[in-house]
Amino acid sequence: MRCVKVRAPATIANVVCGFDCIGFAVENPFDEISVELINEKTVRIEHIDNFNLPTEANKNVAGRALLAMLEKVSLKKGFKVTIKKGMKPGSGIGSSAASAIGSVFAANELLGKPFNSNDLIEFALEGEFLASGSKHADNLAPCLLGGFVLVRSVEPLDIVRLNSPKLFVTIIHPQIEIKTSEARSVLPERISLKDAVSAWANVGALVASLEKKDYELLARSLKDKIIEPVRKRFIPKFDEMKQASLMAGAIGGGIAGSGPSVFMLSKSEGIARKVEKAIAEVFASTGIDFKTYVSRLSSCGVVVEEFS
Amino acid sequence: MRCVKVRAPATIANVVCGFDCIGFAVENPFDEISVELINEKTVRIEHIDNFNLPTEANKNVAGRALLAMLEKVSLKKGFKVTIKKGMKPGSGIGSSAASAIGSVFAANELLGKPFNSNDLIEFALEGEFLASGSKHADNLAPCLLGGFVLVRSVEPLDIVRLNSPKLFVTIIHPQIEIKTSEARSVLPERISLKDAVSAWANVGALVASLEKKDYELLARSLKDKIIEPVRKRFIPKFDEMKQASLMAGAIGGGIAGSGPSVFMLSKSEGIARKVEKAIAEVFASTGIDFKTYVSRLSSCGVVVEEFS
């Protein structure tokens, strides 16, 4: 039977001031996902990594997304999915989004592209819901489309592709676990109107900075008084890492998704490498294991690697 | 002595989802303000309209702004200001901003432009504070600069000029008084994080729509669940006027500033005139006097009319 292999990239959601609505894709790390058509209306999952993710379709992020897709397909076929994760689940860099988007994107290719982008995101939202208990598309949309994306609304789905600057990102992934549900539980239910105004002014400025390629404005807009203060407690040395990154020349950055990863944007690979060194030096003092990445921003999101 | 006469336009602040941070300038209505240098370090104010605004400099919006400027000027001169207001104070379309910006802009021209845009806005903020009890720059900045403007922050002042579309605005000014302080008193002190996320997603989408000239996205982003629901009660027939405007082809709109004026954006003058007719028909049933305007958006803000 036919098989499609895709590469689904990591994504950084929230982007400091754009909680639950802005995200961007990176080139590295990424998951490799192969989907094969099978003659049975079901979803079979195989992992070729060491993360021990569930293989029962209904309990698996990719499985849930593909089951949602299968409901809309009249033909009596199913999918066999083979997932090789390049990023650890629970890292905050869109691991579940990569699994869900990679799978539905590959399956859609196999079926001759009957579904559009919004359809694919809708299917993948079922996977995100399984992973985090909330339907948010700020990892899914950039994973699918690449670059910077704004999710204006999830119900109904309204996705806005933003101008994507040629920037580099440094990511540090401390090897600690923060459950998305735990990271959500510390969020305030209500916030002051004053802080909200400051937040939406920053979101507006962030979008303007991307469209205008104004990186000084980008730096000024990467501020958050609402989410970062309550979530940074989960990340050892967060303030020190941020400070060291800015000293090393980063434009700005903060918590990736709900953490524990931290991202920093830079204008060149050279600066991003300096930021990596600075951040690693600070974090090493904790004695906790960590992993770092330096990557370009991805301009295209998920891509087909092989079609056989 | 030398004299500068300027035209300072009306401005629409908030722009539905951008409470306290987004505003735009229109061509009409406008104030005409003449400023003359005098040989005494003081500010004298004369009105040539029927609005009975205070002439004591310290109690007048333009006076306060000019006094703030005079404090930064070493020479022993002062200003005589003659104001002919083209818009009624308390209309919600930036009357106080036009007085303040018009005056400091004209005075700066007379002095040989020692001050930059941010300086002028800082002086004018003193006038806004007198008028509304709060320092907001979302009328001042577009009045000075023209087009759509985002105020990322007031302290420190951070103004972002946005792309300004070639749109038309219809304004209806019901002849009722809403005190800015009263309009502020109904605002919630705290809002749900969920509503806040929806608001900042709309602000991001609004900015993207202006940069991309995507008027369908502009229409979708002109939504507000936080301010409009509590302020529209001051404006008779608000929902009906909005509905009639959309039926007549408007892109969208809402309360101008803190009201009572209502604005609607349209793609052409023809549609803006139809919107004017539709809105006037709805409002006429209240029996309350009203005034309407149809105008292009202003691309330049305050301008010099005469230099003598």
What is the domain-level CATH number for residue B236? Answer: 3.30.70.890
Q: How far apart are CA B175 and CA A208, in angstroms?
A: 36
Neighbours of B71 (CB within 10 A): 10
Residues B15 and B56 in one domain: yes
Chain mean position to CA B14? 9
Chain B nearest-CA residue for A199: B200
Q: How far apart are CA B71 and CA B63, in angstroms?
A: 12
How far does B213 lie from chain A, in Å, by closest CA? 12
- Report the pLDDT averaged over residues A55-73: 93
Query: Can you tell me which residue has the tokens 């405007």?
Result: B245
**How far lies A73's CA from each of A42, A107, A118, in Å?**
12, 11, 16
Q: Where are the alpha helices (DSSP H) in B9-116?
A: 61-70, 95-110
How far does B231 lie from chain A, in Å, by closest CA? 15
Chain A nearest-CA residue for B196: A196
- Report the pLDDT averaged over residues A22-28: 98
Per-residue pLDDT, B223: 97
Neighbours of A143 (CB within 10 A): 35
SS3 B151: strand
Per-residue pLDDT, A181: 73
How far does A94 lie from chain B, in Å, by closest CA? 20
Per-residue pLDDT, A194: 96
Residue A249, classified by CB atoms within 10 Å of its CB into exposed (0-12), middle (13-18) or buried (19+), is middle
B217: nearest CB among A160, A202, A205: A160
- Residues B243-298 have pLDDT tens digits of 999 999 999 999 999 999 999 999 999 999 999 999 999 999 999 999 999 999 99
**Does residue B200 surpass a pLDDT of 80?**
yes
Q: How far apart are CA B19 and CA B203, in angstroms?
A: 9
B-chain CB neighbours of A197 within 8 Å are 19-21
Chain mean position to CA A19? 13
A193: nearest CB among B151, B188, B206: B188
B49: pLDDT confidence band, cut at 50, 70 and 90?
A: confident
**Does residue A114 surpass a pLDDT of 90?**
yes
Question: Which secondary structure element, helix H or strand E, spans residue A68, and what is its range?
Answer: helix A61-71
Query: Can you tell me which residue has the tokens 């406008």?
Result: B30
Residues A91 and A145 in one domain: yes
Residue B7, classified by CB atoms within 10 Å of its CB into exposed (0-12), middle (13-18) or buried (19+), is buried
A-chain CB neighbours of B19 within 8 Å are 197, 200
Per-residue pLDDT, A49: 82
SS3 B245: helix
B-chain CB neighbours of A202 within 8 Å are 152
Identity of residue A274:
K
Per-residue pLDDT, A55: 87
Per-residue pLDDT, A287: 97
**Does residue B63 surpass a pLDDT of 80?**
yes
- Residues A187-205 have pLDDT tens digits of 999 999 999 999 999 999 9
Q: Work out the angle between the directed axes of helices B269-284 and B238-247 (0-180°, nearest 10).
A: 150
- Report the pLDDT averaged over residues B99-103: 97
Per-residue pLDDT, B109: 96
Residue A55, classified by CB atoms within 10 Å of its CB into exposed (0-12), middle (13-18) or buried (19+), is middle
Residue B71 DSSP symbol: T
Give the active site residues of A. Answer: 128, 180
B193: nearest CB among A150, A187, A193: A187
Q: Considering only A98-107, A172-181, B193-202, which range has the smallest mean pLDDT?
A: A172-181
Mutate to test the interface with A, among B21, B203, B209, B217 (most CBs of A within 10 A): B203
**Does residue A179 surpass a pLDDT of 80?**
no
Q: How far apart are CA A291 and CA A297, in angstroms?
A: 18
A85 Rama class: left (phi>0) / alpha (psi -120 to 50) / beta: beta
Residues A203 and A283 in one domain: yes
How far does B201 lie from chain A, in Å, by closest CA? 5
For chain A, the residue count is 308
% pLDDT > 70, chain A: 100
B-chain CB neighbours of A193 within 8 Å are 187-191, 226
Residues A155 and A14 in one domain: yes
Supply the ipTM of this predicted assembly. 0.94
Per-residue pLDDT, A308: 86
Output phi, psi for A179, to 5 deg: -70, 135
Q: How far apart are CA B107 and CA B78, in angstroms?
A: 9
- Cβ-defined contact of A158 to B187 (cutoff 8 Å): no
How far does A85 lie from chain B, in Å, by closest CA? 31
% pLDDT > 90, chain B: 86
Half-sphere exposure for B230 (CA within 13 Å, toward CB): 13
Instruction: Please work out, in degrees rounded to the nearest 5, the angle formed at the alpha carbon of residue B307 by the alpha carbons of B303 and B308.
Output: 160
First CA to last CA across chain B, in angstroms?
9
Mutate to test the interface with B, among A200, A225, A226, A230 (most CBs of B within 10 A): A200
B-chain CB neighbours of A201 within 8 Å are 20-21, 150-153, 203
Can B180 be counted among the known catalytic residues? yes
Q: How far apart are CA B43 and CA B55, in angstroms?
A: 10
Per-residue pLDDT, A177: 85
Residues A302 and A246 in one domain: no
Domain that holds residue A102: 3-162+298-307
**Does residue B179 surpass a pLDDT of 80?**
no
Per-residue pLDDT, B178: 83
Residue A51 DSSP symbol: S
Residues A140 and A241 in one domain: no
Q: Considering only A40-54, B26-40, B214-228, B242-256, which range has the smallest mean pLDDT?
A: A40-54
Question: Which secondary structure element, helix H or strand E, spans residue B160, and what is its range?
Answer: strand B158-161
CATH number of the domain to which A40 belongs: 3.30.230.10
Q: List A137's β-bridge partners, or say none.
A: none
A-chain CB neighbours of B206 within 8 Å are 204
- Cβ-defined contact of A204 to B20 (cutoff 8 Å): no
- Cβ-defined contact of B211 to A206 (cutoff 8 Å): no
B92: pLDDT confidence band, cut at 50, 70 and 90?
A: very high
Q: Considering only A276-290, B52-66, B92-106, which range has the smallest mean pLDDT?
A: B52-66
Chain mean position to CA A303? 15
Residues B115 and B60 in one domain: yes
- Report the pLDDT averaged over residues B66-93: 93
Q: What is the pTM of this model?
A: 0.95
Q: How far apart are CA A57 and CA B202, in angstroms?
A: 36
Coarse DSSP helix, strand, coil percentages of chain B, rounded to the nearest 5 percent: 40, 25, 35
- Report the pLDDT averaged over residues A121-141: 92
- Cβ-defined contact of A158 to B20 (cutoff 8 Å): no
Residues B245 and B150 in one domain: no
Per-residue pLDDT, B53: 87
Query: Can you tell me which residue has the tokens 């300086």?
Result: B119
A-chain CB neighbours of B141 within 8 Å are none
**Does residue B173 surpass a pLDDT of 90?**
yes
Residues B49 and B188 in one domain: no
- Report the pLDDT averaged over residues B191-204: 97
Interface of chain B against chain A, CB under 8 Å?
Answer: 17-22, 150-153, 158, 160, 162-163, 187-193, 196-208, 211-212, 217, 220-221, 226
Q: Considering only A122-126, A176-180, B225-229, which range has the smallest mean pLDDT?
A: A176-180
**Does residue A57 surpass a pLDDT of 80?**
yes
Contacts of A88 (CB under 8 A, 6+ apart): A51, A95, A173, A175, A291
- Cβ-defined contact of A152 to B197 (cutoff 8 Å): no
B208: its two tokens: 């993207």
Output phi, psi for A221, to 5 deg: -85, -15
Residues B151 and B246 in one domain: no
Q: How far apart are CA B84 and CA A286, in angstroms?
A: 67
SS3 B303: strand
- Cβ-defined contact of B21 to A201 (cutoff 8 Å): yes
Question: Which secondary structure element, helix H or strand E, spans residue A140, and what is its range?
Answer: helix A140-145
- Cβ-defined contact of B200 to A17 (cutoff 8 Å): yes
Annotated catalytic residue, options B27, B180, B228, B276: B180
B160: nearest CB among A21, A151, A208: A208
Q: DSSP letter string over B189-214?
A: SEEEHHHHHHHHHHHHHHHHHHHHT-
**Mean pLDDT: which of A171-180, A219-228, B74-83 is highest?**
A219-228
Structurally, chain B folds into a number of domains equal to 2
Query: Can you tell me which residue has the tokens 């650890």?
Result: A88
- Report the pLDDT averaged over residues A221-248: 97
Annotated catalytic residue, options B128, B170, B228, B276: B128
Residues B274 and B221 in one domain: yes
Per-residue pLDDT, A132: 82
Interface of chain A against chain B, CB under 8 Å?
Answer: 17-22, 150-153, 158, 160, 162-163, 187-193, 196-208, 211-212, 217, 220-221, 226
Q: How far apart are CA A202 and CA A188, in angstroms?
A: 19
Contacts of A228 (CB under 8 A, 6+ apart): A16, A254, A255
Closest among B301, B296, B299, B257 to B106, alpha carbons compared = B301
The answer to whether residues B19 and B200 touch, using CB atoms and an 8 Å cutoff, is: no
Mutate to test the interface with B, among A160, A163, A212, A223 (most CBs of B within 10 A): A160
Residues A59 and A31 in one domain: yes
- Report the pLDDT averaged over residues B208-222: 97
Q: DSSP letter string over A235-270?
A: STTHHHHHHHHHHTT--EEEE-TTSS-EEEEESSHH
Closest among A75, A4, A2, A5 to A40, alpha carbons compared = A75
Q: How far apart are CA B142 and CA B160, in angstroms?
A: 10
The answer to whether residues A145 and A117 touch, using CB atoms and an 8 Å cutoff, is: yes
